[in-house]
Amino acid sequence: MSGGVDSAVAAARAVAAGHDVTGVHLALARNPQTYRTGARGCCTLEDSRDARRAADVIGIPFYVWDMAERFHSDVVDDFVAEYAAGRTPNPCLRCNEKIKFAAVLDRAVALGFDAVVTGHHARLGPDGLLRRSVDHAKDQSYVLAVLTRAQLDRSIFPLGDATKAEVREEAARRGLAVADKPDSHDICFIADGDTRGFLAGRLGEAPGDVVDASTGAVVGSHTGAYQYTVGQRRGLHLDRPAPDGRPRYVLSITPRTNTVTVGPAEALEVSQVRAARPVWTGGERPTAPIECEVQLRAHGDVVPATVTLDGDTLHAELRRPVRGVAAGQAIVAYRSDPAGDVVLGSATITG
């Protein structure tokens, strides 16, 4: 129970479904003062109090589990290391993979619980298939697609058949004070939302060149290549405009030479994506290319593609070019289905 409306209603629905439910809030900060303040829906002392009050209203036991060290090593350190390597991580996805459905699930099973219930907006039906939420605007299947079959088998997502508005209305009917609490959107461990400053404080300054892709000319400088991500346009601080006067975008980041390469928007287009460490839960792992749809970033557009699995690598041939595909993000494959788009599998983009 994060302290937000979704996890509170998920807990209430689990009780109503006849489950013996215990509420758990995760303490994730080594020093809570370094994380966000205020009731934001996740990861603050105020959120812990909101979660406890919701548990009291629902009538379930409530505990706080200290996961700070595991969270720091598996999510925060990973976040910094990925940026240092020129990739763009998704910390929410990593938290699901390593904390909520690994560390928490492992402890829960050891204590005799059967499953972890969360307020994620996704559906997990009797067939065991992970599907998009009915509320596509709030769908979180993308950040859950990294879960293995064993993890999904011990997961319950009670909110997948409801829109966010319906969840808030239900919370109000149940007398939950978090009914109107704003959603959490920021990275919980970056208190002021300044990702660039957060990374600079941990990686230090590392001056380097910004290079034009078409001419090879140095057109600017930076104080750390980790401050940039593929597709970025703002904050480049270039010394001279492009000859055609058009905006430049970050095309690639090369940590080995500490170089950021920029160019026109059309140079961002890719038609092929390669990814590593595929997880396949939407049926038997395919032995031949399959036609499906893929999503390349959280809340990104869905693109028709041909996907091939080759050992520990996933290849996707996109039916139309996509801009701003960043290494470190996930590619998630979906199959259209009348009962809701089914998650077939995911992998981490490498190029």
Which is the catalytic residue, given 43, 92, 188, 292? 188
Tokens standing for 253? 């980041």
Classify residue 149 by its DSSP letter: H
Q: Please name the fold of domain 269-349.
A: Elongation Factor Tu (Ef-tu); domain 3 (2.40.30)
Rounded mean pLDDT, 300-328: 96
**Given this model, what pLDDT does residue 337 score?**
84
d(CA 205, CA 224): 6
Rounded mean pLDDT, 267-274: 97
Find how far residue 202's CA is from the centre of its chain: 22
**Given this model, what pLDDT does residue 245 score?**
83
Which is the catalytic residue, given 42, 43, 95, 292? 95
pLDDT at residue 35 above 80? no
pLDDT digits (tens, 9 = 90+) for 245-265: 889 999 999 999 999 999 999
Query: Binding site membership: which residues?
Result: 26, 119
Q: Does the annotation mark 95 as catalytic?
A: yes
Tokens standing for 23? 């509420």
> According to the CATH classification, is domain 5-119+158-180 in 3.40.50.620?
yes
- Among residues 348, 335, 351, the alpha carbon closest in space to that of 279 is found at 348
Assign 163 to helix, strand or coil. Answer: coil
Contacts of 95 (CB under 8 A, 6+ apart): 71, 75
Q: Does the annotation mark 188 as catalytic?
A: yes
DSSP string, 89-103: --HHHHHIIIIIIII
Rounded mean pLDDT, 271-294: 96
CATH of domain 206-267: 2.30.30
Q: What are phi and psi of 101, to 5 degrees?
A: -115, 20
pLDDT digits (tens, 9 = 90+) for 88-145: 999 999 999 999 999 999 999 999 999 999 999 999 988 999 999 999 999 999 999 9
Only one residue has tokens 């089914």, namely 342
pLDDT digits (tens, 9 = 90+) for 195-217: 999 999 999 999 999 999 999 99
Query: Binding site membership for ATP: which residues?
Result: 26, 119
Rounded mean pLDDT, 56-81: 96
CATH 2.30.30 range(s) for the chain read: 206-267
pLDDT at residue 311 above 80? yes
Dmax (CA) for the chain in angstroms is 67
CATH 3.40.50.620 range(s) for the chain read: 5-119+158-180
39-to-25, 47, 168 alpha-carbon distances in Å: 14, 5, 16
